[in-house]
């Protein structure tokens, strides 16, 4: 059995894919996984409430990274869900016995190795199970520095948590990885695809239109009570920074992908420039978060106009990145 090397990543799903594929001999960085699976996005869905707050996301749907890596790189990844907890647990044990490292989806609330402060009901956390010692599982959680242990009961609760995006014991592992994957072709195709979707999303709740929609909704907070307004703004920042995004709602990670891509294309100028631009957009997101945090703490009136304008400006500048990227593809 090959020795597994744990790596500390920024984000769960892309981190799992990077560690898992690298373990099987296909070395690929987290940003490359993220870029090749077209995972960057934005969504603001006011009618879907989580903890009383509208859904705000800086990436595509959960599981899409796994599915897109499978599709775009033609890697045969076996994915299984289970009708009963026993079956799901037995299958995991069986795979571990065969020496497999297994990607698993679960609710973060039940994972007792996380600090209490971060244990919210979020069903789409991903991590690797790499072994079992008596009644404890060895977990390589990409967002943590080291390998941790998790009790059987806790893992079972997590894997079979119910509700929105219920994992149903979801597990996955690669069966075969093709030789000679030509990254360049896939990079080109996906950069083009992403730029187009971000610039021309057919629905007003996603892509750049989603960002602008959120900016307008922030203005409407003027007529809401102050506590709600603060919770609403705080929720945006939590989705951008608190959950593992690598900073600035995945924008830094995407900038890193563009940089790596530019190297593959013999220091392609356009990609390099776009990477810089995305990095700057990321800095603007951080500034936006900072202004919100200050408003939450302050007793003064919140300057909604300023916050909203910042976000609109971010959308404008992010649009420039995608336009730049269209020059490449």
Partner 1 sequence: MDVNNVPQDNISTYGKAKKAIYAKDINGKLQTTCSTGWNVEETVTTQALQELDEQMQKALEEVKSGTKSPLYYYMYEKRMDLLLLSQVTGFFKWRIKRDFNPEVFAKMKTSRLLAYCDVFGIELDEIKRLPIERV
**Closer Cβ to partner 1, 296 or 326, answer by number:** 296
Among 82, 114, 137, 213, binds partner 1 (CB under 8 A): 114
Binding residues with partner 1: total (CB under 8 A): 54
Tell the smallest beta-carbon distance from residue 252 to partner 1 (Å).
Answer: 4
- Under rule CB under 8 A, residue 72 binds partner 1: no
- Under rule CB under 8 A, residue 235 binds partner 1: yes
Stretch that binds partner 1, among 66-74, 93-101, 174-182, 244-252 (CB under 8 A): 244-252
- Under rule CB under 8 A, residue 264 binds partner 1: no
Among 80, 93, 136, 242, binds partner 1 (CB under 8 A): 242
Among 164, 185, 203, 264, binds partner 1 (CB under 8 A): 164
Stretch that binds partner 1, among 73-81, 194-202, 251-259, 301-309 (CB under 8 A): 251-259
Residues 9 to 48: which contact partner 1 by CB under 8 A? Answer: 9-10, 30-31
Is 257:35 a contact under the CB 8 Å cutoff? yes
Among 64, 81, 151, 259, binds partner 1 (CB under 8 A): 259
d(CA 196, CA 201): 8
d(CA 203, CA 185): 28
- Under rule CB under 8 A, residue 279 binds partner 1: yes
Among 162, 175, 267, 300, binds partner 1 (CB under 8 A): 162
Among 24, 63, 67, 119, binds partner 1 (CB under 8 A): 119
- Under rule CB under 8 A, residue 246 binds partner 1: yes
Tell the smallest beta-carbon distance from residue 180 to partner 1 (Å).
Answer: 26
Question: Residue by residue, what is the 3-state secondary structure of the chain?
Answer: CCCCCCCCCCCHHHHHHHHHHHHCCCCCCHHHHHHHCCCEEEEEEEEEEECCEEEEEEECCCCHHHHHHHHHCCCEEEEECCCCHHHHHHHHHHHHHCCCCEEEEECHHHCCCCCHHHCCCCCCEEEEEEEEECCEEEEECCCCCCCEEEEHHHHHHHHCCCCCCCCCCCEEEEEECCCCCCHHHHHHHHHHHHHHHHHCCCCCCEHHHHHHHHHHHHHHHHHCCHHHHHHHHHHHHHHHHHCCCCCCCCHHHHHHHHHHHHHHCCCCHHHHHHHHHHHHHHHHHHHHHHHHHHHHHCCCCCCHHHHHHHHHHHHHHHHHHHHHHHHHC
- Under rule CB under 8 A, residue 108 binds partner 1: no
- Under rule CB under 8 A, residue 234 binds partner 1: yes
Residues that bind partner 1 (CB under 8 A): 8-10, 30-31, 49, 51-52, 109-110, 114-121, 143-145, 157, 161-164, 230-231, 234-235, 237-238, 241-242, 244, 246-248, 252-253, 255-256, 259, 275, 279, 282-283, 286, 289-290, 292-293, 296-297
């Amino acid at each position: 059995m090959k020795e597994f090397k744990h790596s500390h990543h920024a984000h769960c799903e892309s981190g799992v894919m990077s560690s898992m594929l690298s373990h099987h001999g296909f070395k690929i960085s987290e940003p490359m996984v993220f870029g090749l699976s077209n995972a960057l996005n934005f969504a603001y869905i006011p009618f879907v409430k989580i903890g009383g707050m509208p859904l705000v996301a800086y990436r595509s749907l959960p599981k899409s990274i796994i599915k897109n890596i499978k599709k775009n790189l033609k890697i045969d990844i076996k994915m299984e869900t289970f009708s009963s907890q026993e079956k799901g647990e037995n299958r995991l044990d069986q795979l571990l016995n065969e020496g497999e490292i297994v990607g698993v989806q679960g609710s973060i609330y039940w994972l007792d190795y996380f600090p209490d402060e971060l244990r919210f009901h979020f069903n789409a956390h991903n991590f690797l199970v790499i072994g079992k010692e008596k009644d404890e599982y060895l977990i390589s959680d990409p967002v943590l520095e080291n390998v941790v242990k998790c009790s059987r009961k806790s893992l079972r609760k997590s894997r079979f948590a119910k509700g929105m995006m219920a994992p149903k014991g979801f597990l996955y592992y690669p069966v075969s990885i093709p030789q000679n994957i030509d990254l360049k072709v896939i990079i080109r195709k996906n950069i083009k695809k992403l730029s187009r979707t971000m610039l021309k999303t057919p629905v007003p709740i996603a892509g750049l239109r989603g960002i602008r929609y959120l900016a307008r909704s922030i203005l409407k907070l003027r007529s809401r009570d102050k506590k709600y307004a603060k919770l609403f703004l705080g929720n945006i920042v939590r989705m951008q920074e608190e959950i593992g995004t690598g900073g600035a709602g995945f924008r830094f990670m995407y900038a890193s992908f563009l940089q790596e891509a530019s190297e593959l294309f013999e220091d392609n100028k356009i990609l390099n420039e776009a990477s810089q631009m995305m990095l700057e957009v990321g800095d603007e997101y951080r500034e936006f978060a900072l202004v919100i945090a200050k408003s939450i703490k302050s007793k003064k009136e919140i300057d909604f106009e300023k916050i909203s304008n910042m976000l609109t400006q971010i959308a404008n500048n992010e649009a420039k990145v995608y336009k730049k990227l269209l020059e490449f593809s």
